[in-house]
A and B are shown apart, each in its own frame.
Chain A
Amino acid sequence: MDKEVTLMKGNEAIAHAAIRCGCDGYFGYPITPQSEVLETLAAEKPWETTGMVVLQAESEVASINMVYGGAGTGKKVMTSSSSPGVSLMQEGISYMAGAELPCLVVNVSRGGPGLGTIQPSQADYFQTVKGGGHGDYRLITLAPASVQEMADFVDLAFELAFRYRNPAMILSDGAIGQMMEKVVLPPFKPRRTEEEIMKECPWATTGRKGMRKPNIITSLELRSEEMEKINIRIQSKYREIEAKEVRFEEYMTGDADYLIVAFGSAARISKKVISIAREQGLKVGLLRPITLWPFPSKRIAELASKVKGILSLEINAGQMVEDIRMAVEGKTPVEWYGRLGGIIPEPEEVVAQLKKLFI
């Protein structure tokens, strides 16, 4: 029964995966194109089965602060939204990074800036990987490219968030959120017991019962010398994440003369671009960053020395291209192509651009 193949939207997969991975609480507020996450959770009523709390908060600001509260007690808690809603959550995300709290935030992004459009976009790349909130922090960021990965990355994001005591983000977009594909849902994991949480999260405010010193969850430290030490510790954690947690997929890079770097739905488009280009005798490959932070800079630099040009295909005005150029250090020409405002580039259009830019 657990292994049953089913057909569902990316947003629905997020909700089912959350219930199945033992999530303790979801706090969110509806917004297109991610509302099916909350809708599916409401329909599934996990509070009657696993005991998972599902709450529609009064706003995105309230949602992320409820997540902060839940995370402070060591619970596996999450929220989801789309671009304008995620902007509202940035203060809370920065506070959680500062207080070193694990959580999952899902962004099914749409075109901006401002209220923008409800169509798919990847224009929240900068916000996500460069810190949409204030302060020197980083967000572990996973970019799913299929409905299956929407399901699989929920558990992975929680695992990474707890391992490093840091918020994790699933950065998706309206296309992956709204489309239906085959998915095998992950097996059920029970929610952790209070005892397990106390053991695994000795930092959490679980109630000390006279057994230990009080745990304090805060991002505030007014003594600069102490605050610098905290920052240095957090930074060394980030270096460890950069060393250990880079994830990417390579597709037909072996003999490639040109490389496309693309994530999420742009990576799906790229695979079609590659098959059209190869029919025309153009050897193109794909590197798909699965983690946007930490970014696969090292592998991109290695591939850069083997190809004649790199195209960053993004559904935005050129954001990830900056990280690619930084990785490549001028060794190979790096160009960008994308569409804006909720328009998704079509495969033939990208093939034409590839030829125009490099040949």
Chain B
Amino acid sequence: MKGSYLGEFQEIVLLSILALENEAYGVKIQKEIAEKSRRSISRGGLHSTLSRLEDKGFLASKLGEATKVRGGKSKKLYSVTNLGKAALKEAEAVRKEFHKSILDLNWVKISVT
């Protein structure tokens, strides 16, 4: 099913939201990804992914507090839905399957030589 497919970046975004628990909003997610995956992403790029994930039903969001440093604009807090968590598990499973097959192949190769 096309809808449940998770891109690599989408997966990272979901994971970072899970890691941030109740504090997951734009800036924090951006920073978390920058720190953990050591790649810098623009807020605009992140927005595309977040809205796509929300459309797929993997993310839920609610308005958070408005702080002074944000010029009084409220945050939007994201959380991963059950559907999202399921998609993550599936993606992990698919990946593991692949890793396993690669290992097997390597092992076969080694044994041949």
A joins B in a complex: no
Query: Which positions in B face A, CB cutoff 8 Å?
Result: none
